[in-house]
């Protein structure tokens, strides 16, 4: 912009008291006049990036002015969010510019919690020295790496590092692994990738407590699908039913909110199955041709087994189900009739925290409804995910030290014994480290996780951390966990680094997102992925050979070559071009867009993602990769696992015990959920339910004032923490709105403000998971482990409330 002196003076006269934002600084207009250079139009560059505030992985466009970030918007080309965003995305600006970010590496100075700044070289040599030393002493397996919620090549990198170095202890601490299939889906359908939910094409959605419109997998994608369900040009308004103890925002938007006794979702599902079968509304053709275990059957030895149908008709009568779940018989019947008559229907029963003590069978029961209505492998139903055709990496080189280390059992016991089916069991980590069972941990790496802030076992973990002689944290902040570390090697925030995301959930298509740094790093921080490569190089030998990339973006580039060479899919493009490509590809024409890999890579960086929407396997056979090639009401996969475990450990082995004992017989392999006997209210008369707010990012977002101030509209609360109590319950306790109360459980008590909220069952109180400092619902939750997910049972705790 050219500014003449005359024009400038006119501007000055017009806004004598005005001020302006110039190059990110608030300046009075008069002062700005001092230096005309400041008026020069900054260079505006828009850089695609990936939101990392939740596992949704939405595409971003970051607006930068002379290298400084000046705004975030959705990437209109990105297939996951199509240019739209959720409120969390904007908090990324405050995360990036948080004044409390660490400015560089810190080393422990004397006692834990005191730090001195160090140079990167010194810090890295400290880690290298420790790691080489442990390896030399044949103690490589006593190094544990805790990873939080992230996906893609950062996961690959840590996995490779652990394998090359020689530790089995790469443990993920998170309640939801979005890149893995739910166990119930694995056992009943044999899938190895998560199922896709074709929400956008469904005409009826029945959700068992999934926070579809708040915090379920990808909230933006789900909201878009919901909007399509409600209002689209080509079809009538779809129906949506939400089963939830709480009238959540999702339940408010539903056509019907079904309040339920917490933990009885599986029983309700079986009640609905009963009604479907009794009224003949199930998809008989699908059940007959594509399922196993529906009717009674005989095994190879000729022994009779009860089928799903007889079990459901015998055990889950509507009166029994209604009494257990608190859902009226009429409602159950109406849901069943909707399910049986509106096509395509989709039943969702997947969420982070467990449904109750028998989480596996609950999820199996819910999933069996999808089979009953034949919504598997059809449009508007459940789809299978394709794999990304990323270039395979060379096998990890393992020397003798690595092999010795990897031969050891994992510290958390995942993959063995009672945790046979869990890929990680962070819930028992504290106890195992404290008892040095099976060995003490000598070094701990914390990446993208802050377990001491709000993990249910945080008190035990804090004691366990005391026992670990060497802790390295990669947190960009001095948080509860990193302040216990011996060394902090701060990571960039996501707008400053190279990264990828491989979110493949929800819609069925595969998608690879790529982000190059949008902002120049503000501080002396380093991309942890680069640091891992540097460590590997310094450790040398087979470790360096296994991680031979110079920089993380070299690895990303190497992987993306597979996408280029796959001869399918394409770099995201404007809608018109995309439609044309889809039409052509469906007819068997695939036209390469790029002449060379360099062009492809360049375009990927500029547009932000590669995807392949055309190979959606909308076919029934593709879904059933179980031993019987059918959907299994009776899971032969689980039967085989149990039989093997019995052979290995005997009938009282830990895995069989974790499943509930062999005396359950066939019920172990069927979606059978025990109807709980009526309980006396006792000392703790209320049930505690925790939930995630739409506006809380991974990690809690305590450094993002916008999100903290954003009110939870259903209770009109901002900043402060609260517990939701039904007005009737509150009246009985003499508690008024906004009064302080103690919420007490057998484990502990926390002080919160009471919010009277009529949208709940009167015997349940609800506390959102806030994250960060302050009283947390997790301080009340007993450390009970779900053996199949290795994670805590977060919704089984009973509490009482007293006025504070």
Partner 1 sequence: MALWGMVIDLDRCTGCQACVMACKAENNVPAVGAGEAVRGRIISWMQVLTEEEEGHPGEIKRFMPRPCLHCDDPPCTKVCPVYATYRNPEGIVTQIYARCIGCRFCMAACPYNAKYFNWRRYQKEAPGQNPDVSVRPKGVVEKCTFCHHRLQKARDRARVEGRELAPGEYITACAEACPARAIVFGDLSDPGSDVARLARSPRAFRLQEELGTKPKVIYLTEGEGHGRA
Quick check: 736 binds partner 1 (CB under 8 A)? no
- What is the CB neighbour count within 10 angstroms for residue 734? 9
Partners of residue 3 on adjacent β-strands: none
Tokens standing for residue 744: 């007490």
**Closest distance of CB 513 from partner 1, Å:** 17
Residues between 425 and 454 with contacts to partner 1, criterion CB under 8 A: none
* Cα angle, residue 258 at apex, residues 257 and 259 outer, rounded to 5°: 110
**Closest distance of CB 389 from partner 1, Å:** 29
Select the residue interacting with partner 1 from 38, 112, 180, 253 (CB under 8 A): 253
Quick check: 720 binds partner 1 (CB under 8 A)? yes
Select the residue interacting with partner 1 from 575, 711, 746, 803 (CB under 8 A): 711
Are 177 and 151 within 8 A, CB to CB?
Answer: no
Quick check: 94 binds partner 1 (CB under 8 A)? yes
Given the rule CB under 8 A, which of 229-237, 342-350, 536-544, 632-640 is the region that contacts partner 1?
Answer: 229-237
Given the rule CB under 8 A, which of 235-243, 300-308, 457-465, 533-541 is the region that contacts partner 1?
Answer: 235-243
Quick check: 256 binds partner 1 (CB under 8 A)? no
**Closest distance of CB 21 from partner 1, Å:** 4
Q: CB-based burial of residue 38 (10 Å sphere; 0-12 exposed, 13-18 middle, 19+ buried)?
A: middle
Task: Check the CA dihedral 286-289-292-295 and report its sign.
Answer: positive
Are 94 and 53 within 8 A, CB to CB?
Answer: no
- The span from the CA of 256 to the CA of 192, in Å, is 33
Quick check: 84 binds partner 1 (CB under 8 A)? yes
* Cα angle, residue 788 at apex, residues 786 and 789 outer, rounded to 5°: 75
- The span from the CA of 507 to the CA of 200, in Å, is 8
**Closest distance of CB 73 from partner 1, Å:** 6
Closest CA to 77 of 506, 566, 611: 611
Q: Which is nearer to partner 1, 91 or 413 (CB)?
A: 91
Q: Which is nearer to partner 1, 239 or 282 (CB)?
A: 239
With tokens 């933990």, the residue in question is 263
Quick check: 758 binds partner 1 (CB under 8 A)? yes
Closest CA to 780 of 791, 764, 796: 796
Given the rule CB under 8 A, which of 258-266, 371-379, 627-635, 709-717 is the region that contacts partner 1?
Answer: 709-717
Quick check: 757 binds partner 1 (CB under 8 A)? yes
First to last CA, the chain: 62
Quick check: 252 binds partner 1 (CB under 8 A)? yes
- What is the CB neighbour count within 10 angstroms for residue 716? 8
Select the residue interacting with partner 1 from 2, 26, 567, 682 (CB under 8 A): 26
**Closest distance of CB 316 from partner 1, Å:** 30
Select the residue interacting with partner 1 from 49, 53, 81, 698 (CB under 8 A): 81
- The span from the CA of 330 to the CA of 271, in Å, is 12
Q: Which is nearer to partner 1, 636 or 710 (CB)?
A: 710
Q: Which is nearer to partner 1, 421 or 725 (CB)?
A: 725
Instruction: Give the list of residues 6+ apart from residue 118 with CB closer than 8 angstroms, or none.
Output: 104, 105, 106, 107, 126, 487
Quick check: 334 binds partner 1 (CB under 8 A)? no
Residues between 657 and 696 with contacts to partner 1, criterion CB under 8 A: 694-695
Select the residue interacting with partner 1 from 714, 721, 747, 753 (CB under 8 A): 714
What is the three-state SS of 579-627?
Answer: HHHHHHHHCCCCCCCCCCHHHHHHHHHHHCEEEECCCCCCCCHHHCCCC
**Closest distance of CB 20 from partner 1, Å:** 6
Instruction: Give the list of residues 6+ apart from residue 316 with CB closer than 8 angstroms, or none.
Output: 267, 270, 271, 273, 274
> What track of x and - describes contact with partner 1 for positions 101 through 120 (by CB under 8 A)?
--------------------
Select the residue interacting with partner 1 from 87, 104, 415, 521 (CB under 8 A): 87
Query: CA torsion, points 584, 589, 594, 598, in degrees to nearest 10?
Result: 120
Quick check: 230 binds partner 1 (CB under 8 A)? yes
- The span from the CA of 773 to the CA of 113, in Å, is 17
Quick check: 719 binds partner 1 (CB under 8 A)? yes
**Closest distance of CB 208 from partner 1, Å:** 19
**Closest distance of CB 517 from partner 1, Å:** 16
Q: CB-based burial of residue 446 (10 Å sphere; 0-12 exposed, 13-18 middle, 19+ buried)?
A: buried
Q: Which is nearer to partner 1, 190 or 699 (CB)?
A: 699
**Closest distance of CB 477 from partner 1, Å:** 17
**Closest distance of CB 212 from partner 1, Å:** 9
The count of C-alpha atoms lying within 13 angstroms of the C-alpha of 128, restricted to the half-sphere facing its C-beta, is 19
Quick check: 138 binds partner 1 (CB under 8 A)? no
Q: Which is nearer to partner 1, 681 or 711 (CB)?
A: 711
> Cα–chain-centroid distance for residue 19?
44
Residue 369: strand, helix, or coil: helix
Quick check: 71 binds partner 1 (CB under 8 A)? yes
- What is the CB neighbour count within 10 angstroms for residue 508? 22
Select the residue interacting with partner 1 from 352, 456, 653, 759 (CB under 8 A): 759
Q: Which is nearer to partner 1, 42 or 417 (CB)?
A: 42
Quick check: 7 binds partner 1 (CB under 8 A)? no
Quick check: 247 binds partner 1 (CB under 8 A)? yes
Q: Which is nearer to partner 1, 80 or 143 (CB)?
A: 80
> Cα–chain-centroid distance for residue 751?
28
Quick check: 93 binds partner 1 (CB under 8 A)? yes
Q: Which is nearer to partner 1, 83 or 415 (CB)?
A: 83
Select the residue interacting with partner 1 from 3, 36, 227, 746 (CB under 8 A): 227
**Closest distance of CB 42 from partner 1, Å:** 8
């Amino acid at each position: 912009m050219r500014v003449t002196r005359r024009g400038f003076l006119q501007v000055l006269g017009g806004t004598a008291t005005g001020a302006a934002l110039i190059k990110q600084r608030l300046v009075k207009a008069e002062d700005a006049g001092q230096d005309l250079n400041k008026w020069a139009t900054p260079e505006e560059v828009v850089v695609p990036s990936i939101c990392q505030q939740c596992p949704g992985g939405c595409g971003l466009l970051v607006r930068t002015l002379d290298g400084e970030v000046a705004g975030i918007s959705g990437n209109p080309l990105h297939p996951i969010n199509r240019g739209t965003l959720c409120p969390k995305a904007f908090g990324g600006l405050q995360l990036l510019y948080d004044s409390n970010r660490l400015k560089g590496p810190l080393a422990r100075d004397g006692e834990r919690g005191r730090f001195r700044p160090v140079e990167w070289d010194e810090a890295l040599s400290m880690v290298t020295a420790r790691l080489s030393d442990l390896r030399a002493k044949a103690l490589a397996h006593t190094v544990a790496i805790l990873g939080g919620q992230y996906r893609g090549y950062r996961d690959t990198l840590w996995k490779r590092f652990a394998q090359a170095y020689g530790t089995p202890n790469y443990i993920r601490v998170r309640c939801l692994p979005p890149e893995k299939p739910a166990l119930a889906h694995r056992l009943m359908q044999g899938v190895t990738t998560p199922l896709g939910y074709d929400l956008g094409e469904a005409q009826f959605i029945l959700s068992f407590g999934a926070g579809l419109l708040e915090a379920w997998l990808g909230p933006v994608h789900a909201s878009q699908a919901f909007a399509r369900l409600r209002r689209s040009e080509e079809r009538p308004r779809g129906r949506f039913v939400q089963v939830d103890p709480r009238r959540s925002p999702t339940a408010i938007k539903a056509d019907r909110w079904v309040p339920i006794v917490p933990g009885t979702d599986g029983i309700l599902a079986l009640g609905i199955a009963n009604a479907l079968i009794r009224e003949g509304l199930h998809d008989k053709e699908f059940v007959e041709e594509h399922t196993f275990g529906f009717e009674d059957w005989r095994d190879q030895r000729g022994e009779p087994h009860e089928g799903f149908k007889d079990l459901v008709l015998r055990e889950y009568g509507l009166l029994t189900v209604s009494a257990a779940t608190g859902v009226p018989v009429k409602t159950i019947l109406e849901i069943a009739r909707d399910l049986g008559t509106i096509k395509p229907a989709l039943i969702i029963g997947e969420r982070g925290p467990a449904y109750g003590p028998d989480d596996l069978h609950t999820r199996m029961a819910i999933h069996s409804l999808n089979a009953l209505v034949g919504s598997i492998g059809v449009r508007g139903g459940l789809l299978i995910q394709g794999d990304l055709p990323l270039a395979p990496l060379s096998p990890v080189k393992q020397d003798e030290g690595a092999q010795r280390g990897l031969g050891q059992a994992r510290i958390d016991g995942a993959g063995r014994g009672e945790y046979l089916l869990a890929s990680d069991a962070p819930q028992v980590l504290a106890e195992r480290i404290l008892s040095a069972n099976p060995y003490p941990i000598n070094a701990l790496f914390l990446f993208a996780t802050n377990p001491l802030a709000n993990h249910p076992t945080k008190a035990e973990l804090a004691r366990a951390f005391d026992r670990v002689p060497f802790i390295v944290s990669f947190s960009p902040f001095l948080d509860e966990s990193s302040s216990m570390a011996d060394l902090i090697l701060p990571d960039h925030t996501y707008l400053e680094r190279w990264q990828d995301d491989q979110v493949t959930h929800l819609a069925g298509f595969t998608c690879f997102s790529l982000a190059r740094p949008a902002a120049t790093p503000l501080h002396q921080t380093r991309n942890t992925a680069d640091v891992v490569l540097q460590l590997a190089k310094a450790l040398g030998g087979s470790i360096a050979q296994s991680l031979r990339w110079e920089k993380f973006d070299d690895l990303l580039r190497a992987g993306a070559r597979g996408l280029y060479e796959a001869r399918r899919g394409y770099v995201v493009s404007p809608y018109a071009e995309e439609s044309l490509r889809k039409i052509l590809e469906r007819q068997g024409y695939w036209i390469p867009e790029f002449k060379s890999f360099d062009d492809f890579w360049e375009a990927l960086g500029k547009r932000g993602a590669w995807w392949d929407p055309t190979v959606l396997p909308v076919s029934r056979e593709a879904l059933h990769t179980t031993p019987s090639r059918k959907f299994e009401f009776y899971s032969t996969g689980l039967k085989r696992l149990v039989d093997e475990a019995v052979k290995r450990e005997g009938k009282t082995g830990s895995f069989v015990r974790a499943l509930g004992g062999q005396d359950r017989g066939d019920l172990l392999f069927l979606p059978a959920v025990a109807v709980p006997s009526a309980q006396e209210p006792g000392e703790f008369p209320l049930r505690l339910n925790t939930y995630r707010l739409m506006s809380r990012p991974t990690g809690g977002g305590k450094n993002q004032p916008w999100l903290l101030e954003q009110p939870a509209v259903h209770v009109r609360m901002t900043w402060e923490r609260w517990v939701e109590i039904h007005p009737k319950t509150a009246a009985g306790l003499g508690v008024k709105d906004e009064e302080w109360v103690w919420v007490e459980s057998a484990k502990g008590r926390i002080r919160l403000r009471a919010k009277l909220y009529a949208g709940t069952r009167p015997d349940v109180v609800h506390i959102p998971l806030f994250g960060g400092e302050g009283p947390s619902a997790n301080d009340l939750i007993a450390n009970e482990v779900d053996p199949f997910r290795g994670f805590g049972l977060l919704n089984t705790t009973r509490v009482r409330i007293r006025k504070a």
